[in-house]
Amino acid sequence: DAGVTQSPTHLIKTRGQQVTLRCSPKSGHDTVSWYQQALGQGPQFIFQYYEEEERQRGNFPDRFSGHQFPNYSSELNVNALLLGDSALYLCASSLGDRWNYGYTFGSGTRLTVV
């Protein structure tokens, strides 16, 4: 049973560029949530996708956008990258509203903006 998979593992981008991160949820899960974790901080909620729609969103600018595909996989896009966007980006999957049982996280994508 595959867990949550994220790609790529590491990424280096230049300020102003755009980046796309990818996530495949755990088998049987249909909801994907994205988090940003800066060094020394806890994960910060970016947004959540369910049935191919953004269901809720955290306090992140519109430069952060996402998409969910019919197979429940998801992408996180960040435009006009800033140095402050350097962080570990985590994808978590859950089944519908049953995230109350706890998220399963992927191994993350480490983004470095230079």
Burial of 14 (0-12, 13-18, 19+ CB in 10 A): exposed
Q: Judged by CB under 8 A, does residue 60 bind another protein?
A: no
* Closest CB 91 distance from another protein, rounded Å: 9
Nearer to another protein, 65 or 104 (CB): 104
Nearer to another protein, 35 or 64 (CB): 35
**Closest listed residue to residue 41, CA positions, set 89, 91, 113, 95:** 89
> Could you tell me whether strands 109-113 and 10-13 are parallel, antiparallel, or unpaired per DSSP bridges?
parallel
Which residues lie near another protein (CB under 8 A)?
A: 33, 35, 40-45, 48, 55-56, 58, 88, 90, 99-108
